[in-house]
Amino acid sequence: MQIRKGFYASAVIATVVVAGLAYMMMGGDGKGAIRTSQLTALRNVSKKIAGEVQEAMGRVQKSTNKKAEELSPEDVIADPALVKYGFTKDDAAEVSRYMNARNDEVQDVDYNGYHLADFNDKTDETLDYAMVNTDQATQATSPFISVRDVFAGKSYVVAKIHFVGDYPMPTTPDPTQKTPPPPVMQHVDRYQWIGPILDAELQKELDQAKQGFQSGKTKVQVIEEGSSVVNVYTNKATHKLLLAMSGGPARPEQLRGNAKVPSQYLRMNEKTAEDLYKKDPQKFQVRQATDTVDLAMVDSKVVEWWKFWLALTFGIGMAFAIEMLTDYYVSTHKRPVREVAGVSSAGAAPMIISGFAYAAESSVFMVFSIVVALLMPMILFPPAIYGSWILSFYGIALVGLGLLTTTGFVLAMDTFGPISDNAQGVYEMSGEGHDNEYGSKAVQRLDAAGNTTKALTKGFAIATAVVAAVALFHSFLEDARLQSVGLRLDIPEIFLGLMIGGAAPYLFSSSTIKAVGRAAFDLINEVRRQFREDAGIMAGTSKPDYARCVSIVTAAAQRELMGPAILAIALPMAVAFGFAIGKPTTQIGDHTYNLYGAQALGGFLAGAILSGQLMAVLLANSGGMWDNAKKLIEDGLYGGKGTDAHKAAVVCDTVGDPFKDTAGPALNPLIKVMNLVALLLAPVVIQPFPAATLIGITLACVVSLAFSIWWSGRTSMSDSMTGGAASAAEHASMTAAAAEKIAKAAEPAAESKKKLHIDDEPEEK
């Protein structure tokens, strides 16, 4: 209970501290608030406005009982829902166009993958593409200029201009009248946006406009009411370029372009364009394809600081859930462990069945708690509002960080387990337990508590591995160019990769469990050998060779690591390169990629994460339950030590030790290593390698996997056991043969001796 109180106290302190940090670092005081930017194509904005205008038409039809063709733009403009767009009578033509738009034929433009251009980034090839030089002073000598030179260090804006005043309407002269009639004055009061334009040239344009609207009887004021900065965005994958304005016009038709901003670019760098142009200017103009500079709007939103704190809090909440679940399934005071101990009188089989069933159940509930915790960032940071999944995955990372805020106490609990376990071992070896029942029970209870805390820390470790893997999954998709393609289960390669990934933790666990069994039998054989060869060990007159036992275990641990280590690296590589063999390539921008291997690798990761989480918790909790069930029996429950129930519990504990101490915890680094391997492979495996290269790499990985499987199964526990038995039999045979030989050698000597009688005379010399 004191352990739980300490854990709760550390979690509460972490929650309060995190709240303060989030308030100070995430803009809680109004300074340095986190903002997100979502790029929206002007076409998408027009489609949205058209949809709202047509919805307004439906409402007006119901209220006026008019048919759709009878409605005028003025009728629709009066709808309150359209006030935000600032429509006036002068906008009748635009409103009419929205009323007749066919939205079902307009496809949305997706700007995922675009990032704010960094003009110091020399790896962004898009910034080196050529544009036509519009500067007349240098155009003759340099017909082309790079995108970097056009926009770097310059400020482009869009400006909101208010036109208000009167201007004369054009009239047709009447030849019958000697004096022309006075012009009809038309009042104008509308807003217009101009740009993108260099900020330095904006004032010149305004001055020219003012002069034009103040000549003669035209008296229209031109008033600048604000401007918005235009930034350059590039997509490194597709090599696309766009200009995005923040705080621009509410309606795209309010924006008028400016010829001084290049609207097209060539898909080649400046030097290549100039060389081709000099060879044959006319052929160059016909042959070379150009691409258009898109214009988009940036929707910027402020992210409230408390959302980041809430994501961290859910991570702390997941820590509570892990603690409660582990305590319920592994603690000696709860039903599962007591039920496992309760069936011990029937033998080891019911204990194994019951413990395995409860452990499987605990693994499922652990997954549910992780899913709930990881679902909350997606609710707090929905992509529909914040533009992409980046903030959602950042929230998932914050959940993991919240889980790690209790690391200090978790480390303390993890350390407590081995200390209490070793304390019990030392106490038993001291011999004090034979005469001190109270002391024996005390150390047994400490060991049981240590088993619970160790199981808890194993749950924390695997949960952090899963959270980190999910957070890194977005980085994998970016590196593998899979944002737009995605991972669809109807693609066979992805589904097959999912199946292989799900099988990987089982093969890994098989290797580690067999390794423990082999090492255990090697150690048993060594102990038996020492007992056979040195009778003084049992008599207490000589000491065993402890160093030899430690050496065997250490060497086995290092030697048996080879198979699982190769498996963790070679298997994802085999999947990635193997599924790319013979597959068609995909064109993304100017580059060609083979995405099938990366898609299969993504499915592999998903399968490995899921089955690894389930398997790790199952192994850790089952071993903990069997161990604590044995502790309950040793504490006097169901007969105590020496009974058949205790013998059954010892069997279960022997089964559970490699589960909870080896295979279960080892799945945590397996998931992390496979994720890191996938991240490193992602940008490589998508390259369009020749089939021979892919086949060669795949064969090398398959051979490595075959060696890994052979190495893990080169000898079985049965071989180790029979080998030890054979050694013992050989030793016994040799001992018997030696004894028989000694006996036979003694017989002639005995026969050669002369039997002396009392009547015999002594021999003369």
186-197 pLDDT tens trace? 777 777 788 788
Cβ(553)–Cβ(519) under 8 Å?
yes
Written as one letter, the residue type at 493 is E
Name the most confidently modeled range: 296-300, 303-307, 388-392, 692-696.
692-696
If we measure between CA atoms, which residue out of 469, 494, 715 comes closest to residue 616?
Answer: 469
Q: How far apart are CA 180 and CA 202, in angstroms?
A: 39
Containing H/E element for 588?
Answer: strand 586-588
Does residue 629 form part of some domain?
Answer: yes
Does residue 315 form part of some domain?
Answer: yes
C-alpha count within 13 angstroms, C-beta hemisphere, residue 258: 20
Q: How far apart are CA 395 and CA 116, in angstroms?
A: 22
Residue 467 backbone phi and psi in degrees, to 5: -60, -45
pLDDT, one tens digit per residue, over 101-125 is 888 777 778 787 788 899 888 888 8
Written as one letter, the residue type at 83 is V
**Is the predicted pLDDT of residue 156 greater than 80, yes or no?**
yes
The radius of gyration computed from the CA coordinates of the chain, to the nearest angstrom, equals: 40
Residues 349 and 367 placed together within one structural domain of the fold: yes
Q: How far apart are CA 343 and CA 352, in angstroms?
A: 10
Question: Which residue bears the tokens 């309950």?
Answer: 632
Q: How far apart are CA 401 and CA 463, in angstroms?
A: 12
Name the most confidently modeled range: 31-45, 100-114, 534-548, 597-611.
597-611
Q: How many domains does the chain have?
A: 4
Average pLDDT over residues 302-319: 89
If we measure between CA atoms, which residue out of 349, 639, 452, 442 comes closest to residue 340?
Answer: 349
Residues 222 and 153 placed together within one structural domain of the fold: yes
Average pLDDT over residues 595-611: 92
**Is the predicted pLDDT of residue 33 greater than 90, yes or no?**
no
Does residue 600 form part of some domain?
Answer: no
Cβ(168)–Cβ(162) under 8 Å?
no
**Which domain-ending residue is among 241, 272, 300?**
300
Range of the structural domain that residue 83 is part of: 39-106
Residues 226 and 216 placed together within one structural domain of the fold: yes
Cβ(276)–Cβ(284) under 8 Å?
yes
Residues 387 and 414 placed together within one structural domain of the fold: yes
Position with higher pLDDT, 387 vs 23: 23
Position with higher pLDDT, 34 vs 309: 309
pTM above 0.85, yes or no: no
Residues 700 and 621 placed together within one structural domain of the fold: no
Residue 173: CB atoms within 10 Å: 7
Residue 332 backbone phi and psi in degrees, to 5: -70, -10
pLDDT of residue 1: 54
Position with higher pLDDT, 520 vs 173: 520
Residues 423 and 434 placed together within one structural domain of the fold: yes
Residues 714 and 673 placed together within one structural domain of the fold: no
For residues 87-98, b (16+ Cβ closer than 10 Å) or e, as one string? Answer: beeebeebbeeb
Can you list the alpha helix ranges (DSSP code H) found in 191-347?
A: 199-213, 270-279, 281-287, 305-330, 335-342
Largest Cα span, the chain: 189
Residues 189 and 259 placed together within one structural domain of the fold: yes
Does residue 753 form part of some domain?
Answer: no
pLDDT, one tens digit per residue, over 432-481 is 766 777 777 788 778 777 777 777 788 888 888 888 888 888 888 888 88
pLDDT, one tens digit per residue, over 584-595 is 888 876 678 888
Name the most confidently modeled range: 88-97, 172-181, 493-502, 540-549.
493-502
| Mean pLDDT of the residues in the chain | 82
**Is the predicted pLDDT of residue 671 greater than 70, yes or no?**
yes
The full 3-state SS of 131-154, as one line of letters, equals EECCCCCCCCCCCEEEHHHHHCCC
The vertex-621 CA angle with 616 and 626, nearest 5°, equals: 135
pLDDT of residue 121: 87
pLDDT, one tens digit per residue, over 336-377 is 999 999 898 888 999 999 999 999 999 999 999 999 999 999
Q: How far apart are CA 520 and CA 370, in angstroms?
A: 35
Residues 518 and 407 placed together within one structural domain of the fold: no
Residues 191 and 140 placed together within one structural domain of the fold: yes
pLDDT, one tens digit per residue, over 210-228 is 777 766 667 777 788 778 8
Q: How far apart are CA 126 and CA 202, in angstroms?
A: 27
The vertex-269 CA angle with 263 and 273, nearest 5°, equals: 85
Residues 476 and 576 placed together within one structural domain of the fold: no
How do the residues of the chain divide into helix, strand and coil, expressed in percent and rounded to 5? 65, 10, 20
**Is the predicted pLDDT of residue 325 greater than 60, yes or no?**
yes
- The 3-state DSSP class for residue 561 equals coil
CA dihedral 280, 281, 285, 287 (to 10 degrees): 0
Residue 463 backbone phi and psi in degrees, to 5: -65, -40
Q: How far apart are CA 297 and CA 162, in angstroms?
A: 21
- The 3-state DSSP class for residue 497 equals helix
DSSP sequence for 46-83: HHHHHHHHHHHHHHHHHHHT--GGG--HHHHHTSGGGG
Residue 758: band (very low, low, confident or very high) from pLDDT cuts 50, 70, 90 = very low
Q: How far apart are CA 10 and CA 17, in angstroms?
A: 11
Do strands 586-588 and 185-198 pair parallel, antiparallel, or not at all (unpaired)? unpaired
Does residue 216 form part of some domain?
Answer: yes
**Is the predicted pLDDT of residue 765 greater than 50, yes or no?**
no
Residues 586 and 618 placed together within one structural domain of the fold: no
**Is the predicted pLDDT of residue 753 greater than 60, yes or no?**
no
pLDDT, one tens digit per residue, over 238-252 is 888 888 887 767 777
pLDDT of residue 726: 58
Q: How many residues does the chain have?
A: 765
**Which domain-ending residue is among 106, 135, 158?**
106
Does residue 603 form part of some domain?
Answer: no
- The answer for 3, left when phi > 0, alpha when psi is -120 to 50, beta otherwise, is alpha
Does residue 273 form part of some domain?
Answer: yes
255-264, 298-307, 414-423, 673-682 — which is least confidently predicted? 255-264
Containing H/E element for 537?
Answer: helix 536-539
Q: Is the peptide bond before 336 cis (omega within 30 degrees of 0)?
A: no
pLDDT of residue 734: 56
**Which domain-ending residue is among 106, 138, 163?**
106
Cβ(161)–Cβ(222) under 8 Å?
yes
**Is the predicted pLDDT of residue 573 greater than 80, yes or no?**
yes
Can you list the alpha helix ranges (DSSP code H) found in 79-134?
A: 92-99
Does residue 747 form part of some domain?
Answer: no
